[in-house]
Structure 1
Amino acid sequence: MACALRFSRRSRSAQAPLRSPPTKALRVAFAVAENGFDPQAVYDSYSFYVCHAIFDPLYTFDYFARPVRLVPNTAEGPPQISDGGRTFTVKVRPGVYFADDPAFKGRKRELVAEDYVYTIKRVFDPKVRSYWLYLFDHRLVGLDEALERSRQSGRFDYDEKIEGVQALDRYTLRIRFRTPFYAFQYWLSYDGLAAVAREVVEAYKDASNRVMEHPVGTGPYRLKSWVRGQKIVLEANPGYRDETYPVPGTASEPGDAAVARENAGKKLPIVGRVEISILEEALPRLLAFNSGELDFLELPAAISDNVLAKDKLLPEYVKRGVVLHRQTEPSLSFTFFNMDDPTVGGYTPAKIALRRAIVMGFDRQAEIDVIRHGQAKLASQLVPPGIPGHDPTLVAKNAYDPSGARALLDKFGYKDRDGDGYRETPDGKPLTITKASTPDAVDRTENELWKKSMDAIGIRMTFFT
């Protein structure tokens, strides 16, 4: 579960959609410093938060739809998938423009299909060292040959034709893979494939062909100022296309309708200025919010007890007009077994029973209560809520059942033969499970929960850091 706090704002209806005045500012904080703002070069979440505001991928996700739904962003419609999932054809939406920049020499620069060809080729450039190469490597038609030629020549040729990524005309992009890759349609929404202009890269690139300090995109914001690791200021892009705040559908989350009513009909971006501070520790972020230095705070579970009581805001926050927003994050946390380990690995009935007993014996609700301060839900399946394929009626088969875990261990020969409170293996050897960990305080607390749970079913657990 994710919790966010904000101060309430009074709103009024308008006769026509209007952009927010540039003086209206939103003040937020990042927990980790950014690396830069080149969408093909960065790979950390916080840098991508900024890139998402400046650049545009072809697709995005419906802001309110649950389960999530892919919708056009700078594309005219859904991708046309053919050739058994090998070919993707996309029409780029006419009339989308990059933010004004000296690199364009005073002309208004329209986004075209060739910009996405160039963007994808940047992922291939060895000098850029893009993390996202793995999406295309050994998959895209003609890429392996192009990479080999670049290795031999020492440079990547952006003008060389690659069969797998081409602009068929001014607004038509075609991407071809060697084998079916239906999931690629979702990657077309990823900020790592957001469009950049070749003129901008050639004007401001560093020795690695990266443009980390001078981002220019087609998105709702542009970078106004940046003090590395301290402050990022974004301002509304005055040339941003006409987009209005979305309307939630019937499958949206509770509370979405109220949020939409507050912003219905407003042109994007709603806020004229975004000020981002870097505050790495959770408590200072909360103190900054309490003092009015921040307008919005993503509430870390570790300090949620300072703000919430049984999922409700403390009275002092209610009096100040603070609003709590809750949403289920589409993510999972899990612990996995080393299947090569001689103690827990293997597929004999006894080894399967041992792993199942460990799962049944661990108190996951205690982890949620202690480690996550109640801000999580028990997972019942591999597909998280809000993602297509999630079944809300599915009940986990290996629910917390220490009595059942003890009976299962007894049945398969894992018994305490010497009376010391800990079990031995079926062949009489001491049974010890070693769990990997870190010296982190949270992990130490989690280790205590694991040990308590395993002690309760007679399994000795040690920890390796």
Structure 2
Amino acid sequence: MGTFSAMHYRCLMPHKPSAHVRRPTPQRPMRVRWWLLWCAMWCLCGAPALAQPAPKVLRYAMVSDATTLDPVSFSDIYSVEVAGSIFEPLYRFDYLARPVTVKPQLAAALPEHSADWREYTVHLKPGVFFADDPAFGGQRREVVAADVVYAIKRIFDPRWKSPQLPNFAAMGLTGLNAVRQRALDQKTPFDYDAPVEGLTAIDRHTLRFRLDKPDPRFIFSLTGTVAAAPVAREVVEHYGDSVGDHPVGSGPFVLASWRKGSQIVLARNPGYREVHYDEEASPDDAEAQAIAQALHGRRLPMVDRVEIAVIDEEQPRWLSFLQQGLDLVLLPGTFAPVAMPGGRLAPNLQRQGIVAQKLARPDVVYTVFNMDDPVVGGYGPAQVALRRAIGLGYDNDEEVRNVRRQLGVPAQSLVPPSTYGYDPALKSEMSTYDPARANALLDLYGYLDRDGDGWRDRPDGSPLVLQYHTDKTLRPFNELWKRRMDGLHLRIDFVPGQWTEQAKAARAGKLMIWFLSWNASAPDADEFLRLAYGPAIGGDNLSRFNLPAFNALYDRQAEMGDGPERLATIAQANRLLLAYLPIKAHVHRLQVSLHWPRLQGYQPHPYLRPFHAYVDVVPNPVNP
């Protein structure tokens, strides 16, 4: 019970009755009356308010800001991580199941498909609503099949210059590319009302997709893909070009605030439908089984707010976690020897109850060469020799050993572990460090020091300068590159910049060499091969590699069902990438996440980016 003020005390104490007041008899009813009066005055004079539970806030950091929250306009993982809790795709991955499994999200069930894998029918759940927004004029707005049709058509609208276009154009949704081309040819606005055979809302809650070619894995195009999540046309028309700052979806969270380059805050969507935790852990995963049992049936989301700090430097991010300013951190490589000596959590962190979890990430870190660049691009023998010499002269093993502190595996191809098409027995030139062969290749194809300044020149005698685009977080990698290229007498200059601006320039073919990573969105090699697929230039294909033989292999494997023949085709495509080397694969990363015991239910997932809805934050856990 709280502390009373003097006024409360006077209100609650009985007064001595005046002489003219007749004392009632018997006395017992009088005591009852005083008790009733005490209760009444307690209420009238201001009883202490019942304490409201403090909002549950999930706090963590990303190394880079989102570029935009308009699903049609982004392709980076940071935007996906934020927007994936605002917008909902038709399907998602189960949060706990390993190997990963696909579950309906907005769809009522898994899609029905034709025998030739060219037609898919999807039924949506009725009674799902967008978050409230002024664009709806005060009315609740149900999510319907036409919203999915509209969202995908936006990708084809030239107005939005969507980086997702090459991916969706390659899906072969019958007739949709023709609508785009008509808008381009006639210089008219994209016709959203034009009927398209490959993308149809049959009724209010039923979608039909028809493809130009078979696609046995089409469901992955609808799983976790925010670009295909339903979008309300009236929202886009209401906000116009600023729609990326006003995302409106049907997901568990809404955008509360966004300080560009600093912090993104998501708040619980008050109109979110009733969804309960039903994740299915693998029988042999005791930790996941415990989480499934503890959280089963809980209404989602379990936290009220998500505060995402943008902290690009490792030290401030790490210190913020140690000072409990963050609930979760992905262990920066610089601090791996301190936090995980010998691969085990340090005793001082164990004593604080910190939990460490490892995940072999289905990703690849790579260097991309612009195949249209006059220095490092091209398909001739001399240009190929230059790229292969650069690849042989860089030491992937040293990157894993010294820069990443053993948090990675040297890559033998673009295809990472935990994806269909990965060959654990493969040993290739991709991660071979052989400076002698590299120097021999350069000598053989005329990359000689012709002016005596100590640096190799191009075969025509012009200066040879490699321009590697980077940022301040990559200094250890830059230093490794510098040492190894010095060993080949290749001059390399580092061009600093912001990731978001570099991404735009890379899509436009304006960067010579860039260092980045690709994270799988589905458990299949297809999207990694797309990084070099000609029709994906300007989207996923930042190398601008366009080799007809490779494109044909990509198309062939895309139409095959899984099996030995498809695996052989994937291997053949990988051999072409190794021969021409438009992309130098470095490492498949090992992710170590650390979290305080107050963060409950967290499991690192290889494909599901936004985890916000599946965790709880308990300020004082009983069993830390």
1:375 counterpart (389, 392, 407): 407
Give, as a single letter, the amino acid of the residue that structure 2 aligns with 1:299.
L
Evaluate the alpha carbon distance shift between residue 82 and residue 364 of structure 1 in structure 2; reply closer, same or farther with a 3 A threshold.
Answer: same
User: 1:278 maps to what in 2?
Assistant: 310
**What is the CA-CA distance between 1:426 and the residue it aligns to?**
11
The equivalent residue for 1:61 is 93
Name the counterpart of 2:279: 246
Residue in 1 that maps onto 2:123: 91
Does residue 1:396 correspond to 2:431, yes or no?
no
The equivalent residue for 1:186 is 220
The Cα of 1:23 is off from its aligned counterpart by 0.7
The one-character-per-residue Cα deviations of 1:373-423 (angstroms, maximum 9, x if unpaired) are 11112445653222234455x353669888x998xx7xxxx69xxxxxxx9
What residue number does 2:230 align with?
195
Of the three residues 355, 366, 379, the one matched with 1:340 is 379
- Structure having the higher Rg: 2
Which residue of the partner structure matches residue 164 of structure 1? 198
Following TM superposition, by how much is the alpha carbon of 1:53 offset from its aligned partner in structure 2, in angstroms? 0.5
Asked whether 1:314 is paired with 2:340, we answer no
Report SS of the residue matched to 1:246: coil
Q: 2:248 aligns with which of 201, 212, 216?
A: 216
Q: Secondary structure at the match of 2:142?
A: coil
Give the drift of 1:363: 5.3
Residue type at the aligned position of 2:155: V
Matched residue type, 1:169:
D
Residues in 2 aligned to 1:336 and 1:230: alpha-carbon distance in whole angstroms: 28
Cα pair 1:40 1:130 within 8 Å, conserved: yes
In structure 1, the residue matched to 2:298 is 266
Q: Give secondary structure in 1 for the equivalent of 2:120.
A: strand
Tell me, in whole angstroms, the C-alpha distance in 1 between the residues paired with 2:187 and 2:391: 55
The residue aligned with 2:477 is 443
Alignment partners' CA distance in 1, 2:319 and 2:191? 51
Distance 1:22 1:153, change over 3 A: farther
Higher mean C-alpha deviation, range 266-275 or range 34-43:
34-43
CA distance in 1, matches of 2:391, 2:163: 36
Amino acid aligned to 2:128: V
2 CA distance for matches of 1:99 and 1:140?
Answer: 29
C-alpha contact 2:467 2:492 (8 A) present in aligned 1? yes
Give the Cα–Cα distance (whole angstroms) in 1 for the partners of residues 383 and 75 of structure 2: 35
* Cα 1:262–1:315 shift into 2, 3 Å: farther
Is 2:328 the partner of 1:289?
A: no
1:370: Cα distance to partner? 0.9
Change in Cα spacing, 1:35 to 1:333, as seen in structure 2 (3 Å) is closer
| Alpha-carbon contact 1:245-1:267 (below 8 Å) kept | no
TM-aligned CA deviation for residue 300 of structure 1: 2.3
Quick one: which amino acid aligns to residue 396 of structure 1? K
1:144 equivalent in alignment to 2:177? yes
Q: Distance in 1 between the 2:100 and 2:253 partners?
A: 24
Question: Bigger shift: 375-384 or 277-286?
Answer: 375-384
The residue number in structure 2 matching 1:331 is 363
Partner SS state of residue 173, structure 1: strand
Unaligned runs of 5+ in 1: 1-20, 416-422
Gap regions ≥5 residues in structure 2: 1-52, 370-376, 450-455, 458-463, 494-624
Separation in 2 of the partners of 1:397 and 1:335? 17
Equivalent-residue separation in structure 2 for 1:80 and 1:59 (angstroms): 13
For 2:432 and 2:265, how far apart are their aligned partners in 1? Answer: 52
Q: Match for residue 154 of structure 1?
A: 188
Alignment correspondent of 2:490: 462
Pair 1:93–1:464, CA change in 2 (3 A): same
**In structure 2, what is the Cα distance between the partners aligned to 1:103 and 1:340?**
51
**Aligned-pair CA distance for 1:58:** 0.7
3-state SS, counterpart of residue 320 of structure 2: helix
Supply the distance in 2 between the matched residues of 1:170 and 1:363 (Cα, whole angstroms): 56
CA RMSD of aligned residues (A): 3.8
Normalized per residue, the structure richer in helix is 2
Describe the shift of the 1:72–1:286 C-alpha distance in structure 2 as closer, same or farther (beyond 3 A).
Answer: same
Structure 1 residue 245: deviation in Å? 4.5
What percent identity do the matched residue pairs reach? 35
Residue 127 of structure 1 aligns to a residue whose secondary structure is: helix
**CA deviation after TM superposition for structure 1 residue 170, in Å:** 1.5
Match of 2:148 in 1: 116
**Residue 133 (1) aligns with residue 172 (2):** no
Question: Residues 120-157 of structure 1: CA distance to partner in whole angstroms, max 9, x if unpaired?
Answer: 11112222222212234373322233224433253122
| CA distance in structure 2 between the aligned counterparts of 1:262 and 1:46, rounded to whole angstroms | 30
* TM-score, normalisation: structure 2: 0.58
Instruction: Give me the TM-score of the superposition, normalised by structure 1.
Output: 0.76
Q: 1:362 to 1:441 in 2, by over 3 A?
A: closer
| Cα shift at 1:310 | 1.9
Per-residue deviation, residues 231-255 of structure 1 (Å, max 9, x unmatched) = 2221112323323151212476x85
**What is the one-letter code of the residue matched to 1:388?**
Y
